[in-house]
Structure 1
Amino acid sequence: MWQFLETSLQDATPIALAALAGTFAARCGIFHLGLEGLMCVGAFTSVAVTIGTGNVLTGLTFAAIVCAMLSVLFWAITVKLKADPIIAGLALTTLGLGASTFAQETIFSTRGTITAPEGLWQPFAGTGFPMPTLSIIVIVTPLIILASWIVLRRSQFGFSISAIGEFPYAARSAGINIDRTRLTALVIGGVLCALAGAQLALGGLTSFSSDMTAGRGFIAFSAVVLGGSHPLGAAAASLFFGAANTLGIQAQLAKWPVPLELVLMLPYILTIVAVALTGVLLRKGAVAQSAFGELRS
């Protein structure tokens, strides 16, 4: 039981952090499909800089800076140049995946796995705690989720983001700087994606390999949709996806009497089913609300 929970938390943390980044973007009216690319860049940068400097904190810092710079680029393309956010997000993902592979080949002369000399700090290691391999990022992620909820739902900045996403013209007339607010939200998301990538690469494996994100950025976007663009809802959906992935791993280890391909597809099948059910429920809720409004009138 403890092993299942530990693995689920480790799998869910990168998805949850990226989902929070997607939530910040969605609240201000931008559907962020560049989460996958930012996670991959964060993973590579954190490992590469840790290898070069021997300091994991420096690796985290550089990963956050690079992902923040890419988020500024995404903001400039979508807000200033008025590009379609969906296309720009997919382009950012392609750029992140391709640039990470290219940098790995250029710097380390390999497309294989590169290994860092150290990983993230594991505070519970050697203490007798039943989940000793939890990294510091996994441990502080609940605090990050709580802080995100406070910022988005209980602060003036969060109200400004919501106003921009729902009523941009009213927000502008109220004196809210839409461009600056969106820039801030996207940069925050970039830092969160850097932490997600660092957890993925340095949380347990202490290594990076090409395309190691394996679609987690898109699963994080699904968590945003499933969670209704709410930080707590996105976090809960991420935990569900993390548990689904852990279930798939345990199914392989237990050698369930089903084809291996089906077991590997299990987390993604559950993702599609969950998002589809959410869409159905939201449509039914909208129809019921509309009917109730007509009855009242």
Structure 2
Amino acid sequence: MMSILTDPVFAGFLSASVRLSMPILLAALGGVFAERSGVLNVGLEGMMLAGCFAGFMLTFLSGQLSVGLAAAMVVGGLVGLLLGCFAITLRANQVVVGIAINLLVAGTTAFLFRLAFRAGAETPRITPFKPLDFGPLADIPVLGPLLFSHDILTYAALGLVLLSWVVLCRSTIGLTVSAVGEHPVAATTLGLYVIRTRYLAVMASGVLAGLGGAFLSISATGLFLDNMTAGRGYIALAILILGRRHPVGIVAASLLFGAAEALQLRAQLMPTGVPLQALIVLPYALTLVVLAGFASRSGAPASLGQPLPRTGIR
């Protein structure tokens, strides 16, 4: 047993599981804010990709990772505002709006990237965040690679989970968001500002999803590629369901998907006899299983995905 725990391959798997779970954890955390307020945020994929692109470009231009992070959050929030304009003010179908945002961002980021860097040129790179140095703590079996081998953005993401739990589950802000998501008409009767609350929720959703996208470009890889999020925004929707739209629940669900992705990456390097395509599809197959098995008992707000009434709401 100890030989497995001290095996560097197993240690690398644990570290990779945490690292690979962070982008989808942040996106799913953003989804919690939007969906608890009653807005179905299918546009998480586009928000992540927008943050991924903005984070890389501003880091590349400024040479400062902090500038890239700020840009990713601002751009993600603006995409959230765009979702709010159509889904809340114009009362458009929220699924259609989310898919349209995903397609719009995918095309826009690809166009702007080619505009900034000519086709055929060497792929531009930046220096990503480096893991923090915890000294001998990083050498502890199991706990070392699991807890003490990551960069500051990973620990910031976990801090945001705690902050979100306090805001959504232990404060009047969380009660307001839940009331707006469950019954907007009754919430208005109680004097709550439904439209403003939903706008703030979807913008917070965009900020967090944009931060998750930035994790891919300025923490995990140091580069940007077309469609770099590769469906992680949709996986975040499945994590929302599995985690029952609770900040703590989505941590466990994100780690499960992170472990699945780390497993398929490592299995590709081993002579398993399993076709490469079957390994690549593993995280997405797990997404389908979650949606099929847990969607009906996910505890969604009563008004999730429904447009606001045209009268009686403020």
* TM beyond 0.5: yes
Structure 1 partner of 2:201:
185
Equivalent residue for 1:236? Answer: 252
Report matched runs for 1:14-33 at 5 Å.
14-33=23-42
Closer/same/farther in 2, CA of residues 166 and 263 from structure 1, 3 Å limit? same
What's the offset of the Cα at 1:65?
1.2
Relative to structure 1, the CA distance from residue 197 to residue 127 in structure 2 (aligned partners, 3 Å threshold; closer, same or farther) is farther
Cα 1:177/1:114, change in 2 over 3 Å = farther
Give matches, 1:118-133, under 5 Å: 118-124=127-133, 129=138, 130-131=144-145
Tell me whether 269-278 or 15-24 shows the greater mean CA deviation: 269-278
Residue 65 of structure 1: aligned partner: 74
**Cα 1:171–1:231, aligned 2, differ >3 Å: closer, same or farther?**
same
2:220 alignment counterpart: 204
* Equivalent in 61, 75, 95 of residue 84 of structure 2: 75
Say if 2:76 and 2:211, in contact at 8 Å, map to a contact too: no
2:100 to 81, 91, 94: 91
Give yes or no for contact 1:47–1:115 (8 Å, CA) kept in 2.
no
The alignment covers a number of residue pairs equal to 283
Verify the 8 A CA contact 1:133 1:204 in the aligned structure 2.
Answer: no
1:144–1:54 distance in 2 versus 1, CA, 3 Å: same
Using structure 1 for the length normalisation, give the TM-score.
Answer: 0.90
For 1:208 and 1:112, the matched residues in 2 are separated by: 14
What secondary structure sits across from 1:203 in the alignment?
Answer: helix
Q: How far has the Cα of 1:281 moved from its partner?
A: 5.9
Q: Identify the residue that residue 188 of structure 2 maps to in structure 1.
A: 172
* Structure 1 match to 2:19: 10
8 A contact 1:15–1:238 mirrored in 2: yes
Report the structure, 1 or 2, having the larger helix content: 1
> Pick from 104, 115, 125: which aligns with 1:116?
125
SS for the counterpart of 1:105 is: helix
Contact 1:37 1:92 survives alignment (8 Å): yes
Q: C-alpha distance in 2, partners of 1:112/1:161?
A: 47
Contact map agreement 1:201 1:208 (CA 8 A) in 2: yes
Is 1:156–2:156 an aligned residue pair? no
SS in 2 for 1:190: helix
1:225 equivalent among 238, 241, 244: 241
Q: Which amino acid aligns with 2:187?
A: A
CA distance in 1, matches of 2:71, 2:157: 20
Instruction: Report the Cα distance in structure 1 between the residues aligned to 2:23 and 2:219, rounded to whole angstroms.
Output: 10
C-alpha deviations, 1:209-263, integer Å up to 9, x for none?
A: 0011110000001101111111111221111111111111111111211111111
Aligned partner of 2:264: which letter?
G
> Which consecutive residues of structure 1, in runs of 5 or more, have no partner in the other structure?
284-297
Q: Distance in 1 between matches of 2:290 and 2:198?
A: 29
Gaps of 5+ in 2: 1-9, 139-143, 300-314
Residue 124 of structure 1 and its aligned partner are, at CA, apart by 2.7
